[in-house]
Chains A and B, each alone.
Chain A
Amino acid sequence: MRLLVYITKRLLLVIPTLIGVSFVCFALVRVLPGNPVYFIVGPYATEEEIAKVKTELGFDRPIPEQYLIYLDNVLHGDLGYAWHTSQPVADDIKQRLPLTIELATISLIITLIVAVPLGVISAVQRGSWVDNIARVVAVVGVSMPMFWSGLLLIYMFFYKLDWAPPPMGAIDLLIEAPPRVTGMILLDSLISGNWEAFGSAISHLVLPAITLALPMIGSITRMTRSSMAEVLHSDYVRTATAFGLPRRTVIYRDALQNALLPVVTMIGVLYGFALGGAVLVEMIFGLTGMGSYSFGSIMNLDYAGVQGVVLLVAIIFVIINLLVDITYAIIDPRISY
Chain B
Amino acid sequence: MERLLEVKELQTYFFLRNDIAKAVDGVSFWMTPGEMVGLVGESGSGKSVTVLSVLRLIQPPGRIVSGEVIFQGRDLLRLPEAEINRTIRGQAISMVFQNPSSCLNPVLKVGTQISRVYSVHKKSSAGEARDRALEFLRLVQIPDPGRVMERYPHQLSGGMSQRVMIAMALICEPALVIADEPTTGLDVTVQGQILDLMRDLRHKTQAAQLLITHDLGVVAETCDRVLIMYCGKIVEVGEVGEIYSEPLHPYTDALLRSVPDVRKDFRTTTIPGSVPDPRDPPSGCRFHPRCKHCMDVCRLEEPLLISCQNGRQVACHLLEGDSTRQNQPISSQGEERGRDRTF
CB of A244 within 8 A of CB of B103, answer no
- The CA of A48 and the CA of B116, in the complex, are separated in Å by 81
- A257-B107, A332-B107, A334-B152 are known contacts. Are A243 and B102 too (CB-CB below 8 A)? no
Q: Specify the chain A residue showing the minimal Cβ separation from B102.
A: A235
In the complex, how many angstroms separate the beta carbon of B86 from the nearest chain A beta carbon? 7
Q: CB within 8 Å of B: which of A219-250? A: 234-236, 238-247, 249
B97 within 8 A of A: yes
Taking CB atoms, residues of chain B closer than 8 Å to A332 are 107
Taking CB atoms, residues of chain B closer than 8 Å to A91 are none
B168 within 8 A of A: yes
B283 within 8 A of A: no
Taking CB atoms, residues of chain B closer than 8 Å to A334 are 106-107, 152, 154
In the complex, how many angstroms separate the beta carbon of A233 from the nearest chain B beta carbon? 8
A203 within 8 A of B: no
CB of A247 within 8 A of CB of B108, answer no
A258 within 8 A of B: yes
Q: CB within 8 Å of A: which of B29-50? A: none
Taking CB atoms, residues of chain B closer than 8 Å to A254 are 105, 108
- The CA of A332 and the CA of B107, in the complex, are separated in Å by 7
CB of B86 within 8 A of CB of A235, answer no
Taking CB atoms, residues of chain A closer than 8 Å to B105 are 236, 240, 254, 257-258
Which of B67-75, B87-95, B253-261 lines the interface with chain A?
B87-95
Q: CB within 8 Å of A: which of B76-112? A: 84-91, 94-95, 97, 99, 102-108
Q: Specify the chain B residue showing the minimal Cβ separation from A234.
A: B102
Given B95, B104, B116, B121, which contacts A242 in the complex, CB threshold below 8 Å? B95
B55 within 8 A of A: yes
Interface class of chain A by DSSP: helix
In the complex, how many angstroms separate the beta carbon of A300 from the nearest chain B beta carbon? 52
B134 within 8 A of A: no
Q: CB within 8 Å of A: which of B133-152? A: 152
Taking CB atoms, residues of chain A closer than 8 Å to B55 are 242
B120 within 8 A of A: yes
Taking CB atoms, residues of chain A closer than 8 Å to B106 are 236, 258, 333-334
Q: Specify the chain B residue showing the minimal Cβ separation from A331.
A: B107
CB of B89 within 8 A of CB of A243, answer yes
- The CA of A333 and the CA of B106, in the complex, are separated in Å by 8
CB of A244 within 8 A of CB of B121, answer yes
Taking CB atoms, residues of chain A closer than 8 Å to B107 are 257-258, 261, 332-334
- A235-B97, A258-B107, A333-B106 are known contacts. Are A243 and B152 too (CB-CB below 8 A)? no
Given B84, B87, B91, B104, which contacts A239 in the complex, CB threshold below 8 Å? B104
B305 within 8 A of A: no
- The CA of A258 and the CA of B106, in the complex, are separated in Å by 8
CB of A249 within 8 A of CB of B90, answer no
Taking CB atoms, residues of chain B closer than 8 Å to A242 are 55, 57, 89-90, 94-95, 97
Given B89, B99, B154, B165, which contacts A244 in the complex, CB threshold below 8 Å? B89
Given A235, A243, A257, which contacts B117 in the complex, CB threshold below 8 Å? A243
In the complex, how many angstroms separate the beta carbon of B146 from the nearest chain A beta carbon? 18
CB of A241 within 8 A of CB of B102, answer no
Given A234, A236, A244, which contacts B88 in the complex, CB threshold below 8 Å? A244
In the complex, how many angstroms separate the beta carbon of A246 from the nearest chain B beta carbon? 7
Taking CB atoms, residues of chain B closer than 8 Å to A234 are 102
Taking CB atoms, residues of chain A closer than 8 Å to B116 are 245, 249
In the complex, how many angstroms separate the beta carbon of A100 from the nearest chain B beta carbon? 35
- The CA of A249 and the CA of B121, in the complex, are separated in Å by 13
Q: Specify the chain A residue showing the minimal Cβ separation from B103.
A: A239
Given A235, A246, A261, A333, which contacts B85 in the complex, CB threshold below 8 Å? A246
Q: Specify the chain B residue showing the minimal Cβ separation from A235.
A: B102
Q: Specify the chain A residue showing the minimal Cβ separation from B113.
A: A240
Q: Specify the chain B residue showing the minimal Cβ separation from A232.
A: B59
- The CA of A247 and the CA of B89, in the complex, are separated in Å by 12
Taking CB atoms, residues of chain B closer than 8 Å to A247 are 85
In the complex, how many angstroms separate the beta carbon of B176 from the nearest chain A beta carbon? 13
Q: Specify the chain B residue showing the minimal Cβ separation from A126.
A: B60
Taking CB atoms, residues of chain B closer than 8 Å to A240 are 105
- The CA of A242 and the CA of B154, in the complex, are separated in Å by 21
- The CA of A239 and the CA of B100, in the complex, are separated in Å by 10
Residue with the highest number of chain A CB atoms closer than 10 Å, among B104, B106, B120: B106
- A254-B108, A257-B107, A258-B106 are known contacts. Are A244 and B57 too (CB-CB below 8 A)? no
CB of A235 within 8 A of CB of B89, answer no
- The CA of A244 and the CA of B121, in the complex, are separated in Å by 8
Q: CB within 8 Å of B: which of A292-337? A: 332-334
In the complex, how many angstroms separate the beta carbon of A166 from the nearest chain B beta carbon? 49
Residue with the highest number of chain B CB atoms closer than 10 Å, among A240, A254, A257: A240
Taking CB atoms, residues of chain A closer than 8 Å to B104 are 236, 239
* 7 contacts across the A-B interface (CB closer than 8 A): A241-B85, A241-B89, A242-B94, A243-B117, A244-B86, A244-B120, A245-B117
B interface residues (Cβ-Cβ under 8 A, vs A): 55, 57, 84-91, 94-95, 97, 99, 102-108, 116-117, 120-121, 152, 154, 165, 168-169
A interface residues (Cβ-Cβ under 8 A, vs B): 234-236, 238-247, 249, 254, 257-258, 261, 332-334
Q: Across the A-B interface, give the 8 residue pairs with the lowest CB-CB distance, nearest first.
A: A244-B89, A243-B90, A244-B90, A235-B102, A239-B103, A333-B152, A236-B105, A242-B95
Give 10 A-B pairs besides A243-B117, A247-B85 with Cβ atoms closer than 8 angstroms: A235-B103, A236-B103, A241-B57, A242-B55, A243-B90, A243-B168, A244-B85, A254-B105, A332-B107, A333-B106
